[in-house]
């Protein structure tokens, strides 16, 4: 069985939340919480997950619980790509009556929200957060996607297959996902005979000339940036054949542009967070040729009716006045996560947390992202990765790994 570590219990006490006020939500409404970064460096990733959830909600706005039809209402909280705000936002969802919570994009943001789910016995489903600790350390957290041990090792093996025998890593210092997948990549790469010539960490920060007077939390989060000039100079001197850059899409787009402008001659590899329209929108031609791993191939039948989902989802985006370029694998997983949760609630016949948690273990769902079946740790049994590349403003499928 999974357990909450003492560290996370201390965090709950630190937050100063020992009990929540008794909630009395409407009897005929199921409140489904959505915890996402809708501003800051992870904003487009959070928005694509939310788009998938909202599309699923538009198709299935009710759920039957113990013979009674209930309206599903989404409670949405922006955690501003901030660990502190994520820890606080989850309690606002629970206080609002959320029976289950979907999210958050970004492993770091999910990890800081985790103690609340266990202490309040609220099931949660991470959609694309890949750090193993999210589910390993929680009784109530589940995961739709693969974990970094799969993604990182398969990417490293791909790098070796491409004869990238020397490699560098550039990773955000205070990011659980970036550091975790980078270490897995490094271990597999070196075990396969590759040579790591450089590892550089960085941190996002606010511009020094930014006037913080009356700046909102959202605007502050959006202003975070990074200058890779010194790191890219070090990369040029070390001259690796490839650079692995696990980062947010925002930081990734900045890196790609600065690397191209500086004339860096190395293949660029990254992970699922770069499956994001922001990369193409902000990096432009600098993204061409970069190779990433992600959760699925939306240009083929990866799961049940993948292409039909793509067609219908693009039409939905248009109806909402949004660009079809927002299409990403995370939207498909968000769509599946919504349906998996509703199936579990129907199976449980109640919205009570422990019963819904137990039902999640029993659900088997054929979704557009593939089969969803949670193991004893709450992880979906995913054993494949889609390898993609950027080409002239589009993301193209290369192959499935392994």
- The Cα 147–Cα 245 span in angstroms is 17
* Residue 280 backbone phi and psi in degrees, to 5: -70, -40
DSSP secondary structure, 227-290, as one string: --HHHHHHHHHH--SEEE----HHHHHHHHHHHHHHT--SEEEE-GGG-SHHHHHHHGGGGTT-
pLDDT value, residue 26 = 64
240 has pLDDT over 80: yes
pLDDT value, residue 333 = 98
> Can you tell me whether residue 310 is helix, strand or coil?
helix
Distances (CA, A) of 7 to 3, 14, 18: 11, 10, 16
Residue boundaries of the structural domains of the chain: 6-146+303-383, 148-294
Q: Show the tokens assigned to 385.
A: 């990765």
Q: Show the tokens assigned to 9.
A: 């219990």
Decide if domain 148-294 falls under CATH 3.90.740.10: no
- 324 band by pLDDT with thresholds 50, 70 and 90: confident
Q: What CATH number has the domain spanning 6-146+303-383?
A: 3.40.50.2300
342 has pLDDT over 80: yes
Closest CA to 105 of 172, 151, 38: 38
Buried residues in 13-52 as b, exposed as e (16+ CB within 10 A): eebebeeeeeeeeeeeebbbbbbbbbbbbbbbbbbbbbbb
What 8-state DSSP symbol labels residue 138? -
> Cis bond leading into 402, ω under 30°?
yes
List, in order, residues 6 or more apart from 181 with CB less than 8 Å away: 130, 148, 151, 152, 246, 271
Query: Cα 104–109–113 angle (5° rounding)?
Result: 80
Percentages helix, strand, coil for the chain (3-state, rounded to 5) are: 45, 20, 35
Q: How confident is the model over 189-200, as pLDDT tens digits? A: 999 999 999 999
Residue 30 pairs with which residues in a beta bridge? 72
141-143 and 124-126: which strand pairing?
Answer: parallel
List, in order, residues 6 or more apart from 319 with CB less than 8 Å away: none
Same fold, 6-146+303-383 and 148-294: yes
More confident residue, 7 or 74: 74
Query: Cα 162–165–171 angle (5° rounding)?
Result: 95
Contact predicate 144/293, CB 8 Å: no
- The Cα 147–Cα 155 span in angstroms is 13
Q: Which residue has the tokens 């957290």?
A: 141
- The Cα 387–Cα 398 span in angstroms is 5
Closest CA to 380 of 328, 345, 336: 336
Q: How confident is the model over 247-263, as pLDDT tens digits? A: 999 999 999 999 999 99
Q: How confident is the model over 67-86, as pLDDT tens digits? A: 999 999 999 999 999 999 99
Contact predicate 42/107, CB 8 Å: no
pLDDT exceeding 90 applies to what percent of the chain?
89
Q: What is the pTM of this model?
A: 0.92
pLDDT value, residue 144 = 98
Which H/E stretch holds residue 47?
Answer: helix 43-59
- The Cα 292–Cα 294 span in angstroms is 7
Query: Cα 202–288–273 angle (5° rounding)?
Result: 45
Question: What's the count of helices (H) and strands (E) in the chain, helices before strands?
Answer: 14, 15
Q: How confident is the model over 94-144, as pLDDT tens digits? A: 999 999 999 999 999 999 999 999 999 999 999 999 999 999 999 999 999
Q: Show the tokens assigned to 398.
A: 């290369």
Least confident of 13-17, 47-51, 287-291, 342-346: 13-17
Q: How confident is the model over 9-58, as pLDDT tens digits? A: 334 433 444 444 444 456 799 999 999 999 999 999 999 999 999 999 99
């Amino acid at each position: 069985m999974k357990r909450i570590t003492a560290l996370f219990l201390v965090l709950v006490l630190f937050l100063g939340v020992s009990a929540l006020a008794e909630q009395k939500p409407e009897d005929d409404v199921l409140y489904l919480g959505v915890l996402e970064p809708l501003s800051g460096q992870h904003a487009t990733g959070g928005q694509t997950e939310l788009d998938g959830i909202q599309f699923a909600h538009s198709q299935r706005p009710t759920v039957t619980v113990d013979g009674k039809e209930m309206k599903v209402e989404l409670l949405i909280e922006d955690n501003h790509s901030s660990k502190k705000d994520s820890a606080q936002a989850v309690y606002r969802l629970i206080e609002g009556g959320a029976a289950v919570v979907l999210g958050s994009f970004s492993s770091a943001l999910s990890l800081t929200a985790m103690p609340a789910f266990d202490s309040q016995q609220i099931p949660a489903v991470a959609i694309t957060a890949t750090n193993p600790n999210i589910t390993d350390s929680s009784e109530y957290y589940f995961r739709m996607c693969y974990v970094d041990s799969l993604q990182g090792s398969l990417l490293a093996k791909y790098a070796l297959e491409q004869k990238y025998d020397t490699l560098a890593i550039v990773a955000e210092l205070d990011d659980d996902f970036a550091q975790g997948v980078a270490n897995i990549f490094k271990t597999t790469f070196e075990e396969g005979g590759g040579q790591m010539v450089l590892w550089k960490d960085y941190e996002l920060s606010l511009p020094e000339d930014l006037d913080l007077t009356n700046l909102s939390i959202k605007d502050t989060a959006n202003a975070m940036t990074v200058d890779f000039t010194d790191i890219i100079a070090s990369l040029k001197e070390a001259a690796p054949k490839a650079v692995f850059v696990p980062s947010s899409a925002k930081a990734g787009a900045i890196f790609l542009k600065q690397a191209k402008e500086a004339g860096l001659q190395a293949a660029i590899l990254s992970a699922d967070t770069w499956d994001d329209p922001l990369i193409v929108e902000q990096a432009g031609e600098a993204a061409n040729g970069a190779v990433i791993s992600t959760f699925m191939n939306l240009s083929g039948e990866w799961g049940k009716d993948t292409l039909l989902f793509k067609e219908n989802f693009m039409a939905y985006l248009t109806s909402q006045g949004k660009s079809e370029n927002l299409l990403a694998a995370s939207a498909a997983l968000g769509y599946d996560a919504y349906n998996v949760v509703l199936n579990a609630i129907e199976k449980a016949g109640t919205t009570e947390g422990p019963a819904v948690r137990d039902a999640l273990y029993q659900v088997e769902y054929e979704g557009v992202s593939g089969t969803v079946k949670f193991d004893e740790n709450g992880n979906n049994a995913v054993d494949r990765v889609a390898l993609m590349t950027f080409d002239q403003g589009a993301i193209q499928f290369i192959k499935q790994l392994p």
